[in-house]
Amino acid sequence: MQRRHRTLPELKAHESAQTISFTDHALACKLTAMGVLPGATIEMIRKAPFGDAFYVKVDGVRLALRTDEAKQILLTV
Amino acid sequence: MSNDAQQLRPLKVGLIGNPNSGKSTVFNQLTGLRQKTGNFPGVTVEIKVGSFTLPKGQKVSLIDFPGAYSLYPTSSDEKVLAEVLSNPGDANFPDMLVYIADVTNLEKHLLLFSQILDLQIPAILVLNMMDVAAEEGIRVQTQTLAAKLGVAVVAVSGRTGENIAQLKAQMEQLAGTTPLATKPFYTLTENECSVAEAVKMNFGTENGYRALLIAHHKDWLPFLSVPERAMLTTIQDTKQFQSLRAQVEETMTRFDRFVPIVKSAVQQPSAFPLTFTDRLDGVLTHRFFGPLIFFGIMALVFMCIFYGYEITGGWVEGAMGWLIEQAEALTTPLNMAWLTDFITKGILEGLKGVLVFIPQIALLSLLIALLEESGYLTRVVFMFDRMMQRFGMNGRSIVALIGGGACAVPAIKGTRTITNWKERIITIMVTPFISCSARIPVYMVLIPIALPNAGWWIWAQVFGGMYVLGVVVALLSGWVLKKILRSTEQSFLTLHMPVYRVPHWKNVWLTVVDKVKSFVSGVWKPIIIITSVLWLLSSFGPGDIASKARASAEEEIALGHVPDSLRGDLEASYKLEYSWAGKIGKFIEPAIRPLGYDWKIGIGILSSFLAREVFNSTMYIIYSLESVGKIEEGAAGDQKPFERYSSLKDRMLNDTFRDTHQKIYTPATGLSLLVFYALAMQCMSTLVVVKQETGKWRWAIIQFVFMGAIAYLFAWLTFLAVNAF
Ligand SMILES: Nc1nc2c(ncn2[C@@H]2O[C@H](COP(=O)(O)OP(=O)(O)OP(=O)(O)O)[C@@H](O)[C@H]2O)c(=O)[nH]1
Enclosing domain of residue A21: 5-76
Determine whether the shortest distance from the Cβ of B109 to ligand 1 is under 6 A.
no
> Of all atoms in ligand 1, which is nearest to the CA of residue B372?
27
Left, alpha or beta for B586 (phi > 0: left; psi -120 to 50: alpha)? Answer: alpha
Do B107 and B241 belong to one domain? no
Q: Are residues B236 and B161 in the same domain?
A: no
Q: Is B383 within 8 Å of A50 when comparing Cβ atoms?
A: yes
B386 shares contact with chain A (CB less than 8 Å): yes
Pair (B11, B142) in one structural domain: yes
Measured CA to CA, the distance from residue B223 to residue B436 in angstroms comes to 42
Nearest-by-Cβ selection for A66 from B72, B245, B385? B385
Query: B653 and B632 in one domain?
Result: yes
Give yes or no: residues B557 and B639 share one domain: no
- Does residue B307 form part of some domain? no
pLDDT confidence bin for B2, thresholds 50/70/90:
very low
If we measure between CA atoms, which residue out of B127, B124, B53, B52 comes closest to residue B95? B124
Listed residue (B174, B81, B83) closest to B125, CA to CA: B174
Q: Is residue A54 a contact partner of residue A67, using CB atoms and an 8 Å limit?
A: yes
Strand pairing class (B123-128; B35-39) = unpaired
Output the CA angle B76-B78-B82, nearest 5 degrees: 110
Q: Are strands B123-128 and B96-102 parallel, antiparallel or unpaired?
A: parallel
Residue B303 lies in a domain: no
CA distance B252 to B70: 12
What's the whole-number mean pLDDT along residues B680-690? 88
**Residue whose CA is at the smallest distance from ligand 1 atom 25:** B19
Using the mean position of ligand 1's atoms as its centre, give its distance from the Cα of residue B505 in Å.
12
Tell me: do B572 and B584 sit in the same domain. Answer: no
**CATH number of the domain enclosing A51:** 2.30.30.90
Q: Taking each helix axis from N to C terminus, what angle separates B614-622 and B567-578, rounded to the nearest 10 degrees? A: 110
Q: Are residues B554 and B607 in the same domain?
A: no
Of B248, B251, B383, Cβ closest to residue A48: B383
What tens digit of pLDDT does each residue of B493-542 get?
Answer: 888 899 998 998 888 998 888 878 877 776 677 777 777 887 888 888 88
End-to-end CA distance of chain B: give it in Å, rounded.
83
**pTM reported for the whole predicted model:** 0.80
Residue B307 in contact with residue B315, Cβ under 8 Å? no
Instruction: Show the 3-state SS of B167-221.
Output: HHHHHHHHHCCCCCCCCCCCCCCHHHHHHHHHHHHHHCCCCHHHHHHHHHCCCCC
Across the A:B interface, residue pairs with CB atoms under 8 Å apart total: 118
Within a domain: B643: yes
Number of domains in chain A: 1
B563 shares a domain with B467? no
> Is there a single domain that holds both residue B23 and residue B55?
yes
Task: Tell whether B180 is covered by a domain.
Answer: no
pLDDT above 70 covers what percent of chain B? Answer: 92
- Which of B250, B267, B284 finishes a domain? B267
Going by pLDDT thresholds of 50, 70 and 90, the confidence category of residue B140 is very high
How many Cα atoms occupy the beta-carbon half-sphere of B652 within 13 Å?
29
Distance CA B361, CA B378 (A): 22
In a domain, B197, yes or no: yes
User: Model confidence over A24-62: pLDDT tens digits?
Assistant: 888 899 899 998 999 999 999 999 988 789 999 998 889
- pLDDT of res. B43: 56
Instruction: Say yes or no: B131 and B196 in one domain.
Output: no
Q: Does B667 fall in a domain?
A: yes
Q: Which of B121, B146, B175 is the last residue of a domain?
A: B175
Q: Report if residue B338 sits inside a domain.
A: no
Total domains in chain B come to: 4
Segment B210-219 long-range contacts (CB within 8 Å, at least 24 positions apart): B210/B85, B210/B86, B210/B88, B210/B119, B212/B188, B213/B71, B213/B82, B213/B85, B213/B86, B214/B86, B215/B241, B215/B243, B216/B72, B216/B243, B216/B246, B216/B247, B217/B82, B217/B83, B217/B86
Angle at B444 between CA B676 and CA B635, to 5 degrees: 140
Q: Which domain holds residue B256?
A: 190-267
Q: What is the mean pLDDT of residues B447-455?
A: 87
Q: Answer yes or no: is the C-beta of B708 below 6 A from any ligand 1 atom.
A: no
Q: What is the pLDDT of residue B631?
A: 67
Summarised one tens digit per residue, pLDDT across range B35-72 is: 776 655 555 566 789 999 999 889 999 999 988 999 99
Any idea what the CATH number is for the domain that residue B91 is in? 3.40.50.300
Domain identity same for B122 and B261 = no
Cβ contacts of B248 on chain A, cutoff 8 Å: 22, 25, 28-29, 32
Decide if B650 is inside a domain. Answer: yes
Ligand 1 pocket member B129 (CB < 6 A): yes
The β-bridge relationship of strands B266-267 and B139-140 is: antiparallel
CB B576 within 8 A of CB B534: no
- Shortest distance, CA A23 to any CA of chain B (angstroms): 11
Residues of chain A neighbouring B69 (CB-CB closer than 8 A): 30, 33-34
In a shared domain, residues B101 and B201: no
* pLDDT, tens digit (0-9, with 9 covering 90-100), for B155-180: 999 999 999 999 999 999 998 777 66
DSSP per-residue codes, A29-43: HHHHHTT--TT-EEE
Pairing label, strands B123-128, B152-155: parallel
Last residue of a domain, one of B240, B267, B294: B267
Q: Are strands A16-22 and A73-75 parallel, antiparallel or unpaired?
A: antiparallel
